[in-house]
Structure 1
């Protein structure tokens, strides 16, 4: 089954699904700054656009572009800045 998710007053939207490799969401973010919390390990793949990310325990913002990915452990918070519409694939473990 496909689930629809909406966050931050509709500025972040995603579709959730489950495949042979596990649970994933495919989504789009509007320009803005967001803070997310994880409940599972996440691998965030940037599909189009770019994200500037402040990962847990880091004081440096890092930019990830289309084709790049980063990981966040379970039960963490992280911040994301996007300057234009950016799409992503988030895979959960």
Structure 2
């Protein structure tokens, strides 16, 4: 899906890591939400409250989930899941455009 219909977009950006990662919240009529963002090359660690589906629209990265010692390489058109109450390390190889869906 390249478009979302009937949504509210929060105007203010979420800004992390000195501006190297940004996102905007998109809220759907049913109250569910996603974030759309950009990550610049670098190494980052993110914590999660809810389970997440990270869809990569453009770019290349490697990620490692908390408790896992294996790094996984992915690129545009691929995705990965992150469990709730967890964290993941991410190495952005080239600028990443992403969509994060928060799962119940």
Q: Scaled by the length of structure 2, what TM-score is found?
A: 0.83
Q: Deviations over 1:8-54 (max 9, x none)?
A: 00000011111257210000000000000001110000000112001
Q: Which structure's relative contact order is higher, taking Cα pairs within 8 Å and 6+ residues apart? A: 1
TM superposition outliers: structure 1 runs of 4+ over 6 Å: none
- Alignment coverage as a number of residue pairs: 93
Distance 2:34 2:18 in 1: 22
- For the aligned residue pairs, the C-alpha RMSD in angstroms reads 1.3
Gaps of 5+ in 1: none
Q: Scaled by the length of structure 1, what TM-score is found?
A: 0.93
Gaps of 5+ in 2: 1-7
Q: Deviations over 1:66-90 (max 9, x none)?
A: 1111001111011000122111000
